[in-house]
Structure 1
Amino acid sequence: MQSHRRSEIMLAAVLSGAAGFIDAVGFIHLGGYFVSFMSGNSTRGATALAEGNWSGFAMAFGLVAAFLVGVVSAAILRRLVPSRKRMAVLLYVTAALASAVVLFELGIGGWAAPAVMALAMGAENVVFERDGEVSIGLTYMTGTLVKMGQHLASALTGGDRGLWRRYALLWLSLTTGSIVGGFAYLAVDLNALWIAVALLALAVVVNGREFQVTPGARPLNGTG
């Protein structure tokens, strides 16, 4: 994250907040399964298998599979579009999440709508990609907390005093989004997801305006 512009860090914070919001909504609705935290689903699926809970096993690893499909499809999308790759992925994520909400609203979602939510979260992680690798993880914070701790240790021993704040911002954004998402779900049920769709749409608009302001600038991640 050290080489990303301030505007990119702020976009990452917004997207992490949206991910936390969506994951909290999905977690409550699904009774303890995640749409963005696949380490948790892997553990839940494994324990469900050990307990002979086949429906729990299918739910957990179905969400893992959908998340992976989101990552793969978004990565392929980045390779297919000739320019404005980040914008293409943002639009894909927004459209996928909106589709999940519509499925819920029509009452035909079943397992499909949570799977589409997980797909959207997988795709979101490809927004920031550099040389085929994710440069900023948006929906999981374990690695982010490790890096924050490392840079905090560096700051305490005479190193750069500011880098740890970038990682802290991502963690705080996801955590705050989760809190808001939890309360929003309790207030308006799955209609809360429209808030996340609006937030993602705003991210699309802001990203597009930034691109227009500096059309000749070379993106720091080399892919836009």
Structure 2
Amino acid sequence: MHRYDPARQRLALGLAALAGLVDATGFVVAGGYFTSFMSGNTTRMGVELVHSPALALAPLALIAAFLAGVTGGAMVGRRFAGRHKRVLLGLVALLLTGGAGLLVAGLPVLFLGLAAMAMGLANNVFVRDGEVTVGVTYMTGALVRFGQGIAGRLAGAPLESTRGYGLLWSALALGAAVGGGLCLIAPLWAAGLAAFAALALWGLAFAVER
């Protein structure tokens, strides 16, 4: 995070908030599965393989959709180097808008698949030399860096490389809280906000890459 200029940091925070919003919506719609937190889906899949093998298909399908998004996003990023942020976020917005439409049509399973794929794509927005530099849908690493930063400050030796990760985690938590709150009204509200937010981030990506 610390290596990016303020505009790119704002884009990363926006993406983390979007991931929290989409994940909370997916969690409610899927009844306890995730659209961006694949560690949680992997744990659920492992447990269900032992206890109820048929139920393991749900997290496995979400993992497959997410992986397809990551793979496709990486290929798109290579193809559109230099303007990959706007292209990827355009695709994310398209998938989330289509997913919201499918949710309206009473097709929650397809919504979940498109949402997971969109989150896989989003993880390719911040990439350098083919490697992800800021993971915007998973926060374990961000919390580790945040904790290391706290320890450094307490020891009187601040670590510049840990700056911004607490905010990144907070953005995801805020997005999840907003998504959870909207789902109390109707998951469609949260899905619609996610589509709108993705469109706004697409516009921000144009400004950043310009």
- TM-score class normalised by the smaller sequence: over 0.9
Q: Of 167, 176, 179, which aligns to 2:177?
A: 179
Matched residue, 1:116: 114
1:209 offset after TM fit, Å?
A: 2.3
Matched residue, 2:3: 3
Counterparts of residues 1-224 of structure 1 (less than 5 Å):
1-54=1-54, 56-107=55-106, 109-160=107-158, 164-212=162-210
1:112 offset after TM fit, Å?
A: 2.1
TM-score by length of 2: 0.94
Q: Deviations over 1:198-219 (max 9, x none)?
A: 111111112212333xxxxxxx
State the alpha-carbon separation in 2 of the partners of residues 10 and 102 from structure 1. 28
> Which one-letter code corresponds to 1:139 in the other structure?
T
- Which ranges in structure 2 are unaligned for 5 or more consecutive residues? none
Aligned length: 210
State the alpha-carbon separation in 1 of the partners of residues 114 and 24 from structure 2. 15
Q: Secondary structure at the match of 1:43?
A: helix
Greater than 3 Å deviation, 4+ residue runs: 161-165
- Which ranges in structure 1 are unaligned for 5 or more consecutive residues? 213-224
Contact 1:155 1:162 in 2 (8 A): no
State the alpha-carbon separation in 2 of the partners of residues 114 and 211 from structure 1. 30
TM-score by length of 1: 0.89
Q: Deviations over 1:122-177 (max 9, x none)?
A: 11111100110000000111010001111221222222366544000000000011
1:58 offset after TM fit, Å?
A: 0.3
Percentage of matched positions with identical amino acids: 37
Matched residue, 1:215: none
- Which has more helix, going by share of residues? 2
1:186 offset after TM fit, Å?
A: 1.2
State the alpha-carbon separation in 2 of the partners of residues 65 and 48 from structure 1. 17
